Structure 1
Amino acid sequence: MDENNRITITVCGDGGCGKSSITLRLVRSQWTHEYDPTIEDSYSVTRTVDGQSYFLMLTDTAGQEEYRGLWAASNLKSDAFLLVYDITNPNSLDALDFFMEMIDMEEEQRLDEGKVPPVKIVAGNKCDLQAARQIKSPQGLDWARQRKCGFMETSAREMVNIEETFALLVRRVVEARRLAAAGGSTAPVSNRTAALPPMNEKDTSSSHAPAEKGGENARRGNLWKRLKCW
């Protein structure tokens, strides 16, 4: 397969937030409720996005503090990062600061070298557990926007926005590479595209449409109404 169609993705976040569940849902269409702490696992899967086949190489990384020192430098060389938190655990969103700090340093280095910056998307997982929700969707979205990341809410258990999240990662990596090859801006793609979650395949294009006269609040209100995990 063409190297341009190979995309590396690092999945990171606190222990127990569902990183492995999201990864296995994509790779094997499986879900397990058993929690088995991961040190590091690698997977590969082929997906077709916008008519083009891509070979995705995923690294599911350690979330527990005692394992974070084992983060390999190769993890930071990925084309994209999926930062996962658990909507029922406020501490899991705070834990993303650790990973974001390392990713930001890697991004600065790539920009200084004129390389393609990494794509970053934040995923609020376990959105099927609405009764136990501790982190509201606007809170997660604001956290992601402040750090120039895309944003989704997912459920590995109910298969909500799993395929859509990785399709969005692929599209943003492809766009970042296209801009770099054309000699355009090397600013992160997420700086120039709204951090908005596609709701389903037919709504994807409209979710990135410019805001109407109603402004940002109206647009955000419409988005929350269409969220599949609501």
Structure 2
Amino acid sequence: MPPHTPSHSTSSTVPPTPISITICGDGGCGKSSITLRLVRSQWTSEYDPTIEDSYSITRRIDGSVYHLSLTDTAGQEEYRGMWASSNLGADAFLLVYDITSRDSLEALGYFNDLIDMEAETRLDNAARAMKAGVSPALERGGAGSGGRTVPPVKIVAGNKCDLQESRTVPAAAGLEWSRRRGCGFMETSARLEVNIEETFALIVRRVVEARRLAGMGRMPLDSPVVTHPSTSLAIVCLSMGERTGSRVLRRLWSGGDGFWRSLRCW
């Protein structure tokens, strides 16, 4: 008699897929608040400048399990020189700014430049790998660029979207800044837990897509992942109040220059 075969799926034995994420941005923009909201479901109004903290969490997204290694980095200018090469070796970067501070959006340029230089290094690595007949998706481990061949994913988060009365950076301005630099874009609120899980799910999906394209010998930026504004925009608008938010949504989608109607990436 043949041995009994368990009826449950063996997928549970598949180890989680590792993804590393570096969180960067100006001091006080809410990087640590976003991180702690995701990791511990906590929020605090006290500002404690971070030099660097690391966290690990597991999430199931689209039926697969991922092990996320998060690095919450220093935002203060005096600490930026402490950025380790391992921070630039991440699979993805979450660039955070504060919607009540235009300066915090402009401060992202410093981090974006570093990430773009890292991306160029990885593209060079990929070109050499393809020339040697090795799949670019088969990355070697280690800190920094090393043998990494898949360009990093970049997502911009406009944080504190619950503070509508203090907003100085319109959502359209944050979106345009992001699109010009090849970044995805979301607005978040760590305090009200708006788009926190959704932002990291977006990061995971884009990393998975980048790896898939690299394995096909294509550059991820050739085929950007398209997302839609409905969820995050609706939540942002509802934070203004149900009646006002609904009115804003109708106006954005149906009238004027059709800017929001034509959006392909949010």
TM-score, length-scaled by structure 2: 0.73
Work out the CA distance in 2 between the residues paired with 1:196 and 1:36. Answer: 34
Deviation at 1:23, TM superposition (A): 0.3
Q: Is the 8 A contact 2:213 2:220 kept in 1?
A: no
**Shift in CA distance, 100/133, structure 1 to aligned 2, threshold 3 Å:** same
1:137 aligns to what? 171
Secondary structure at the counterpart of residue 192 of structure 1:
coil
**Shift in CA distance, 30/198, structure 1 to aligned 2, threshold 3 Å:** farther
1:220 aligns to what? 260
Q: Encode CA deviations 1:171-226: one digit per residue, 9 max, x unaligned.
A: 0000111111233x12437x6234655617xxxxxxxxxxxxx9xx6472487xxx
Quote the RMSD (CA, aligned, Å): 2.3
1:182 aligns to what? 216
Q: Is the 8 A contact 2:214 2:220 kept in 1?
A: no
Deviation at 1:86, TM superposition (A): 0.1
2:100 pairs with 1:88: yes
| Identity value in percent | 65
1:10 aligns to what? 22
**Shift in CA distance, 27/197, structure 1 to aligned 2, threshold 3 Å:** farther
**Shift in CA distance, 197/41, structure 1 to aligned 2, threshold 3 Å:** farther
* Ranges in structure 2 where 5+ consecutive residues have no aligned partner: 1-12, 127-148, 233-253
Aligned to 2:225, which of 183, 189, 193?
A: 193
* Ranges in structure 1 where 5+ consecutive residues have no aligned partner: 201-213
**Shift in CA distance, 55/97, structure 1 to aligned 2, threshold 3 Å:** same
Work out the CA distance in 1 between the residues paired with 2:154 and 2:227. Answer: 10
Work out the CA distance in 2 between the residues paired with 1:2 and 1:51. Answer: 12
Secondary structure at the counterpart of residue 24 of structure 2:
strand
Q: Is the 8 A contact 2:161 2:189 kept in 1?
A: yes
Work out the CA distance in 1 between the residues paired with 2:15 and 2:230. Answer: 27
TM-score, length-scaled by structure 1: 0.84
Work out the CA distance in 2 between the residues paired with 1:67 and 1:198. Answer: 37
Instruction: Give the number of the structure whose alpha-carbon radius of gyration is greater.
Output: 2
Work out the CA distance in 2 between the residues paired with 1:112 and 1:140. Answer: 30
